[in-house]
Each structure stands twice: as structure tokens, then as C-alpha cells.
Amino acid sequence: MAGLSKSAAADTAAIGPVLIPAMKKEKYDAGFSVAVTACSSTLGVIIPPSIMMVVYGAMAQVSIGKLFLAGIVPGVLIALAQMCYTYYIARKYDYPSYPRATAKKATVSFGKAIPTLLLPVIIIGGITTGIFTATEAAAIAVFYALVLMFIYRTLRIKDLPKLLKDTVVQYSLPMFAVACAGIMGWLIGYLHAPELVADFITSITESSKGIFLLIVLFLLVIGTFLSPLEAIIIFLPILTKLGDIAGLDPVHLGIITCLTLACGMVTPPYGICLLIATQIGKISTARAFVSVLPILFITIGIIVIGVFFPELFLFLPNTLMADA
């Protein structure tokens, strides 16, 4: 789902109504059901292709293809860590399990899903190989998705005008937010805020790793009350200024920024994924947040590992797109 939707909120809204009621029906703890659904949905902006990485790459003039490749390793690590935690909780509370699907059934299901699973492969493959740009990839993805919808008979021609109308309306709303965020970002630069923040942070530490950790802390705070896209656009001048001072790789800074801001999608008061999941699970945000904390700490731990061992995240883009 992460590779198909490219949006954490869309993942929560699409999967939550199916998984959360089913887990509660099987006597899973409601807080855990909400937490694991919301936190796993943040992979939508980490696993490429990612809308957040496209915006960051375009605004910061960083290779979007490299950002996509840099997101694979941390995305897989976070997914595996969440799986291990879920396995631990499931064993601890003896949650029910079911027999595995037969090889035949799994093969048939995989075969039916291949055309849809090719969508992220086409996008990532085309961008990383230089066949088309990120903007062209979006157009190709829309056309391919439309073809699939007709093949699977989930869309009728008479429904197309309404679909296009809804798309225009839904697309325009975040664009207003992006436009306002862009003005705010310009104002921050005009008032020399990047230099002021940089001077403050360098007065605390001049170590590149120390500066990087303070950037992560800064982004964790910002992410609690701003959406990731708005945060990137508004605070990008500050981030790039600090990155230049610390001598950080632009791709490394970009992927850590995206990973850290993704945490804000499950932390109140913004926490859009958490809010959607709590509405579906019909529990309080406070109860859900307590269940989120262990998974959140695991994710932050992986981010810190990425700060101290940059090649862990960068070996794929540096190997496959060395000339980009």
C-alpha cells in the first residue's frame, strides 16, 4: 500500500476500516490495533515513491531518484522493526493466529496482483534510470492506473468526469497550503532566520553529528504541529543552511528529514494518521498515543542509527546513481 498510495494518511484511511475492526473483533487490544495501523501507514511517505521526497527534492534541488533509493533501506528496517515488535506483543498477549495460505492460493493471488504491483516499479525504475522525470512519472502512473481500473472493471467511463472533478478539488486544497507555506518559507529567508538558527545551534555544538542530532530534535518538534510537506517548504532554508555548516550530504539530510517528519504523523496534536485511526478504532487519542510510543521510539532509534552510519542509507543511491 505504501508503494501504491505514496501517502500515509491515505494508507490509514484505506486499510484502517478493514484491519482495526477485524483486530478488535478478535480481541486485540484497541490501542495496539490503532497504533500498529497508524505507525505502519507512515511507511507511505518513506517507502518510495514518496510525495514528500518529490517535494523535498524539487525544493532543495536534490536528485529525487537518489532520495527514492535512499528510502528503501530505512523503510525496510522500520518495517522489520515494527514486525518484530508486533510479533512480541502477539506472543505476549496470545493473540489468535490462522493457518497460512497454500502455495497454490498464494501463487494465484500474486499473479492477479502483478499488474498493480508493477506501478511503483515503473515509477521508481523510470526515474532512477533517467527514462523520465518525477513529473513525467506522475503522468505515466495516472495513465497506467486508469488502464488498470478499466481492466479490473472498478471504473466505468460514465464515472470518469466525476472522478476528474473530485481530483481537481482534492488537488487544489493542498496546493493552497503549499502556496502559503512557500510564502512563509520566503519570509523566513528574508528575515535571515536560517542564519539566526544556525548561529544558535552552532553556539551549542560545532560537531557535525551534534548539529545533525539537533536538526532531528528540531524536526520532531516541528512535526507535531505541521504536516510534513508544509514543514519542508517553510523550514527548508534553515535545514539547508545547517546542512552546509555541518557538511552533510544533501541526500542524507533529505532522507533523515523525511523519516523524522514522518514521525509527526502519529504524534499529537497534528498526528493525522493517529487521528484517523483513533476515529476508526473509537478510542481516545491519549490512549492510542501511549500504544504508539514504543513503535515511535523504535523508529527514532533507526533514524539515529542513520545519522551515525550514513552509508547504511546512502550505499544504494551512491552505487546505482553515482553520476546523478
Q: Does the pLDDT of residue 4 top 70, yes or no?
A: no
Region 26-46: what's the mean pLDDT?
91
Q: How far apart are CA 191 and CA 181, in angstroms?
A: 15
**What span, in angstroms and rounded, lies between the C-alpha atoms of 317 and 217?**
26
Average pLDDT over residues 24-40: 92
Q: What is the pLDDT of residues 135-177, one digit of tens each?
A: 788 788 888 888 888 888 877 888 888 888 877 876 676 677 6
Top-confidence residue, 322 or 59: 59
- For residue 8, give the DSSP letter: H
How far is residue 166 from each of residues 148, 152, 153, measured CA to CA in Å?
19, 21, 20
Angle (CA) 72-314-195 rounded to 5° is: 110
Residue 180: count other Cβ atoms within 10 Å of its Cβ: 13
Give the C-alpha separation, 235 to 138, whole Å.
26
Amino acid (one-letter) located at 160: L
pLDDT for residue 97 is more than 80: yes
Phi, psi of 95 (to 5 degrees): -70, 150
Q: How far apart are CA 175 and CA 181, in angstroms?
A: 10
Identify the band that residue 294 occupies on the pLDDT scale cut at 50, 70 and 90.
very high
Q: Distance between CA 89 and CA 94 in Å, rounded?
A: 8
Of 19-28, 121-130, 267-276, where does mean pLDDT reach its minimum?
121-130
The larger pLDDT score, comparing residue 12 to residue 76, is at 76
Under the banding of pLDDT at 50, 70 and 90, the label for residue 313 is very high
> pLDDT, tens digit, for every residue of 170-213?
667 667 766 776 787 778 778 887 788 888 888 888 899 999 99
CB 178 within 8 A of CB 233: yes
Q: In the chain, what percentage of residues exceed pLDDT 90? A: 39
Q: Is 68 in contact with 49 (CB distance < 8 Å)? A: yes
Q: Give the Cα separation of 156 and 5 in Å (integer).
A: 21
Query: Is the alpha carbon torsion for 215, 35, 226, 52 positive or negative?
Result: positive
CA-based Rg of the chain, rounded to a whole angstrom? 20
Q: Give pLDDT, residue 173.
A: 63
Higher-confidence residue of 160 and 72: namely: 72
pLDDT of residue 71: 92
- The CA distance from 208 to 307, in Å, is 10
Average pLDDT, the chain: 87
The SS3 call for residue 31 is: helix
How far apart are alpha carbons 300 and 80 in whole angstroms?
A: 14
Asked whether the predicted pLDDT for residue 88 surpasses 80, the reply is yes
Residue 242 has pLDDT above 70, yes or no: yes
pLDDT of residue 137: 80
Give the separation between CA 301 and CA 240, rounded to whole angstroms: 23
pTM for this structure? 0.81
Burial class (CB in 10 A: 0-12, 13-18, 19+), 152: exposed
Domain ranges of the chain: 2-102+162-320
